[in-house]
Amino acid sequence: MLQIQNPIKSFVGLVVAACVFTTLPAQSTEVIKLATTTSTENTGLLKELLPKFEAASGYKVQVIATGTGKALKLGEQGDVDVVMTHAPAAEAKFVADGFGVEPRGIMENDFVLLGPKNDPAKARDSKTAEEAFAKIAKSGAAFISRGDNSGTHIKELEIWKAAGVTLDFKGYTSVGQGMGKTLLMTNELQGYTLSDRGTFVAYKTKLDLSVDFEGGKSLANPYQVIQINPAKYPDLNHKGAKAFSDWLISKEGQQMINSFKVEGEQLFKATYSE
C-alpha cells in the first residue's frame, strides 16, 4: 500500500536538520595544514612545539611529514597552508615562482656523513665533504641514498656533483625512503649515508654507525617556514599560517627550539637565539 508522509512531520524534520547543520562549528579555519620534512617529525621536535602553539593560539596543526620536494609540491598545489623545509635553492625558487611569501629562517643544524665505525673508505681523513664522497665512490663501499627529493637528498646530489662523481658506481643504492628508514637500511648494510644530525641523534641508540665526516659550509642545514601566497590560493588558512610563522620566530618559539634535546644533545640552533 502506498505510504503518504505527514507533511507537518516532514517540515519539522527538515527544520530540525537545518538547525543542526547550521549550528555545527566551522572547523576549516581552525586547522592549519603544515607540510614539513621528516626530520622535524622523526626527531620529536614537532611533538614538543605544537602543543604549546596550539594551546596559545586555539589552532590545531595537521602535519604532513615528507621530503622537502614533496612538501613544496603540496604548497604549489594549494594543499597546505604553510611549509617548513630545509633546501634553500628549492625554497628560493618556490618563492620566486609566486607560491610562497614571507620566508623566514627559524633554525639550523648540519648534515653528517655516517658510515661504519672502521671507515673502510677512509672518509674520516678527508678535508672536505666532496673529498669524502669521492673516496667512498672509489672504494666500492655501499652508499645508501634517500632518493626521495628531500632536502637531505638534494644536498647529497649537490655534493656528488661538486665532487665530480656520477652515480653509476657499484655501491650506490637509492631507496626512496625517509631519513629514519634510510638510517636503518644503512646500518643493516654497514654502508655510508648522508643524514641531518637531528635524525641521527634521535636514532643513535638503534645504530652501529659513526660520524665519518662533519663540518664545513657545504654541510650547513638551515630551515625556513614559508606561508602559501594568498594571491594564488585565497581560500587557504592564511591567518593561521601567519600565526604559526610568527610564533616560530617569537621569543617563546625560539627558546623552545634551542631547549629541545634528545639524549642530552641539542638538535637545533634557533636562528634568532641570543
End-to-end CA distance of the chain: 82
Report the pLDDT value the prediction gives residue 28, as an integer from 0 to 100.
41
User: What was the pLDDT predicted at 85?
Assistant: 95
The pLDDT value recorded for residue 273 is 60
* pLDDT average, residue stretch 92-119: 97
pLDDT at 153 over 70: yes
In this predicted structure, what is the pLDDT of residue 228? 98
Residue keyed to cell 637528498: 153
Average pLDDT, integer, range 51-65: 96
Binned at pLDDT 50, 70 and 90, residue 52 comes out as: very high
Q: For residue 3, is pLDDT > 50?
A: no
pTM of the model: 0.80
Where is 35: in which H helix or E strand?
Answer: strand 31-37
Q: What average pLDDT score do residues 152-170 get?
A: 95
pLDDT the model gives residue 24: 35
In this prediction, what percent of the chain has a pLDDT beyond 90?
Answer: 81
Kindly calculate the radius of gyration of the chain based on its CA atoms and give it in whole angstroms: 24
- Map out the domains of the chain with their CATH numbers: 29-109+222-270 (3.40.190.10), 110-219 (3.40.190.10)
pLDDT top residue among 108 and 20 = 108
* C-beta of residue 117 within 8 angstroms of C-beta of residue 210: yes
Residue type at 227 in one-letter notation? Q
Q: Give the per-residue pLDDT at 204.
A: 92
Write the DSSP symbol of residue 59: -
- Cell 611529514 belongs to 65
Which run of H or E residues covers position 136? Answer: helix 129-139
Question: Mind listing the pLDDT tens digit for each residue in 217-274?
Answer: 889 999 999 999 999 999 999 999 999 999 999 999 999 999 999 889 899 999 986 5
* pLDDT tier at 167, thresholds 50, 70, 90: very high
Residue 176 confidence (pLDDT) above 80: yes
Backbone angles phi, psi at 115, to 5 degrees: -165, -175
Residue % of the chain over a pLDDT of 70: 89
Return the DSSP state at 63.
E
Please give the Cα distance from 195 to 153 (Å, whole number): 9
Distance CA 57, CA 52 (A): 9
Q: Which residues, 6+ apart, have CB-to-CB distance to 41 below 8 Å?
A: 63, 65
**Upper half-sphere CA count for residue 189 (Cβ side, 13 Å):** 19
Rounded Cα gap, residues 178 and 150, in angstroms: 8
- The answer on pLDDT for 216 being more than 90 is no
